[in-house]
Structure 1
């Protein structure tokens, strides 16, 4: 089995003493004593990027009884590399700590006050910034939640869009009483750097080259290649807080199908919990909607039910604001659709930079790489390792499923002006 290489060995400080400290705080019991612990990789390759995650199975004694608990420990990698560079100033963890400590609890309280028992995500049990940046969560896999290997059907997407709508509505209603909500401004565009842009430019250039091989689509190649360098200014503008936004919400910021866990019973998804609030950002609601349409929803869901899903989200959003007794102006469905159109360059960015990788399973690709290199130590899933990632991911742009999607999408992007920069 292949794991992320940087999760194969836990840092030295992540030991029994540390976990005992966590449990003493979370259970409010200074007499608690950890008797045994096992720390294993917490994720599969490709399940996440901007952190390293471990699962700790801990046996302990508390108040005269023996207990066992599973915890998820999220921290910063020790070595150098793109992950470390991205996380070194602690901004992403700062955002997530604010979300778990200040924002999500207030959202839950508001929802409960109107009889809504919606659960948004797992509980944070412990966090620290010194001497190590670390967050410890309850392990919701013991409650029957698991990861999913495919993009979401319409019925599954509606579970997420219902939660997203209630999340957005709660943020609008709470924005003045929980002012930290409006300060969250570290979205996708603000945490990128030259190395990320170099990787994305390489991928966009790869797509432009592949398009030349599609009969009848050759004229799109130059327009796609022209996105390099220029698309990031458009991306930055979309993520900036602007007076021209018809309205703003607190976006989750990374509504990717792997940033969720699913309770599946008899083959049917019953509930979905949201994870990873590191790039939550106050801004246009189009950010979450566009992002999720491409990296959450299946191709069938996006292409055949896009309007239905947006209307479903909007109705849930308005219903929640009304339940909260919100006295401010409630935006119209037209307002929402105008925001989505104004932020349209985000669609072309996600389609060229992220979408190709929605149709491949990184774990399988890395298994093959591990076999070919005779390595049994796991492969480091690190975008900074350009040669290996390029070798494995190049085929994604030639994937027939992605080809079919882009051959439908490029003419639409052209007529909407998204290819004009």
Structure 2
């Protein structure tokens, strides 16, 4: 017996409006590429939806994409009547166009923050162990931002970095007032987003090590709190990220 017996004809044959012009309009809107041109397409029924393989070009470069397209029943009958006044399609459209993109953005940001902290904490944990085992190994790395000549006298420093000025004694602690029970690590020294690169998988690479120095484990964390996190992130995510940082630190050791 045919598997098609439970489907209406309009569920097995694409509606007339589902053509290459429709696909082109949809892709142009999605990619925000007015030059996009659909060059070929293949539409196949898949239960109550349609599989579409579309080939297109953007400024003479060729691409292809596989899509799933759902359609409202068009043939008269129970299914059309049942779904006609329902909100299931507007609900799904809202999910795909409004809700899920926001979820992805938040999760991508969380992944990037964890990637950044993960990269930092692992090499800080390694530096902590090396410093314990070989105390002189980082003797050349004693020059933090405050050691740049005349840095503290600059108007920018006084006006825009007042909180930073209040941390000077903490930043210089290892060099000037070392504590026996403190956790000292190799600090990055300039931990902000412009000194990082991410690939498509949110893996992070740190750049610019000109201001790296030995200091308190809290220094980069305090810096990151204000340079990487938005006010909402500081309110909602800071505790979880700190837990992640110290958990990773311990596990790396």
TM-score, length basis structure 1: 0.31
Q: TM-score under structure 2 normalisation?
A: 0.50
Larger Rg: 2
Higher relative contact order (CA 8 A, sep 6+): 1
